Structure 1
Amino acid sequence: MSSPPPPFPARIELAGEGLVLRDWVEGDLGAMPALFDHPDIAYWTPMVSPFDGAAARARLERERRLRAEGTTILLAVTADGGAPLGEVMLRRAPEGTEIGYAIGPAHRGQGLAARAVRVMAAYAFEELGVARVILELEAENAASVAVATKAGFRLLDVPLITGEEKGRPFALQTWGLDRP
């Protein structure tokens, strides 16, 4: 029987690459629908759609529960610790330490996702001691393939992860970044 993962810190703030990744707070609930209620996010991610105020509240509560369980961190991507521009996730999973992200439509094209992924990867390497972080994404998601490449990840020679989400089949590639 394996022991549960060590808990994550109750509060996390990571700075680097011109970003501050910080905890989601109650004051962010009103901003979350504008970030996550979008067809791209509904299609490419498991986030609920439509993403409204109730979905924002549920996501904040879920983040707090998963962090307390030691499995997942969800952080707001910000320029300066203020208004959220998107989200970056770190999840301890059987297949590896996975990073995920979603950037609000109004904030795309600024390299936020690749920078947030690199900052979160550095946290995983330096604070959690992991040897590799992974991204799981669909080959057809050109924006995510570009993020993976820009963040320094390489496509791993492992089987596709297949399944169905929201009534559509998916096949995820696994991209990896090894500790420097």
Structure 2
Amino acid sequence: MSSTASSLPARIELTGEDLVLRDWTEEDLAAMPDLFDHPDIAYWTPIVSPFDAEAARARLAKARQLRADGTTVLLAVTVDGGAPLGEVMLRRAPEGTEIGYAIGPAHRGQGLAARAVRVMAAYAFEQLGVEQVILELEADNAASVGVAVRTGFSLLDVPLIEGEEKGRPYVLQTWGLNR
């Protein structure tokens, strides 16, 4: 993050697309394992696996620390500000302002990821003043590629990102959406 970038607010609540994206709280800890302890989440995301009560507490603490550092926002995806159905992330990094998401298995198929991405992109454009947001996706992750396409992102002509997470090699494509 450049020294000219603005800091992130201590509290964030975003509404739109029939969603309320809000800060994680201690009241969410019990629900987090049902959202994140799943083979798909373990495979496609860097979220720890297995995801248990201890992992939930660590994720809440990490979300608060990343916000305080001014680099990352992790918000619970809800329909009414109540029970979390998943998470959406906004991360300011040298390669761009990245959005990421994970929707709990019981809540998939409702367009939650696409709607959360649109709300978070609008926040990045309108409140943070960024010109472009990116998604970094594996080409084989059909669900996430579908979200990218449905939300208007285009595959960018930039080098692939290769790495390893949890002992599994990955290759990420970068998709972009301009203001």
Category of TM-score, reference length = shorter chain? over 0.9
Once residues 84 and 31 of structure 2 are traced to their aligned partners in structure 1, the CA distance between those partners, rounded to angstroms, is 7
Cα displacement (A) at 1:3: 2.2
Q: Percent identity?
A: 81
Once residues 65 and 5 of structure 2 are traced to their aligned partners in structure 1, the CA distance between those partners, rounded to angstroms, is 14
* Residue matched to 1:165: 165
Instruction: Report the AA paired with residue 144 of structure 2.
Output: S
Cα displacement (A) at 1:105: 0.1
* Residue matched to 1:54: 54
Q: Is the 8 A contact 2:6 2:128 kept in 1?
A: no
Matches within 5 A, 1:30-41: 30-41=30-41
> SS of 1:30's equivalent?
coil
> SS of 2:91's equivalent?
strand
Cα displacement (A) at 1:30: 0.2
Matches within 5 A, 1:6-155: 6-155=6-155
Unaligned runs of 5+ in 1: none
Cα displacement (A) at 1:104: 0.1
Runs of 4+ in structure 1 off by over 4 angstroms are: none
> SS of 1:148's equivalent?
helix
Instruction: Report the AA paired with residue 85 of structure 1.
Output: L
Cα displacement (A) at 1:6: 2.7
**Alignment RMSD, CA only?**
0.8
Unaligned runs of 5+ in 2: none
Instruction: Report the AA paired with residue 118 of structure 2.
Output: R
Once residues 118 and 4 of structure 2 are traced to their aligned partners in structure 1, the CA distance between those partners, rounded to angstroms, is 26
Once residues 153 and 103 of structure 1 are traced to their aligned partners in structure 2, the CA distance between those partners, rounded to angstroms, is 19
Once residues 134 and 112 of structure 2 are traced to their aligned partners in structure 1, the CA distance between those partners, rounded to angstroms, is 18
Question: Normalising by the residue count of structure 2, what TM-score does the alignment of the two structures yield?
Answer: 0.98
Instruction: Report the AA paired with residue 8 of structure 1.
Output: L
Deviations along 1:2-60, one digit per CA (max 9) or x if unpaired, are 52743210100000000000000000000000000000000000000000000000000
Instruction: Report the AA paired with residue 129 of structure 1.
Output: G
Q: Is the 8 A contact 1:63 1:74 kept in 2?
A: yes
> SS of 2:135's equivalent?
strand
> SS of 1:157's equivalent?
coil
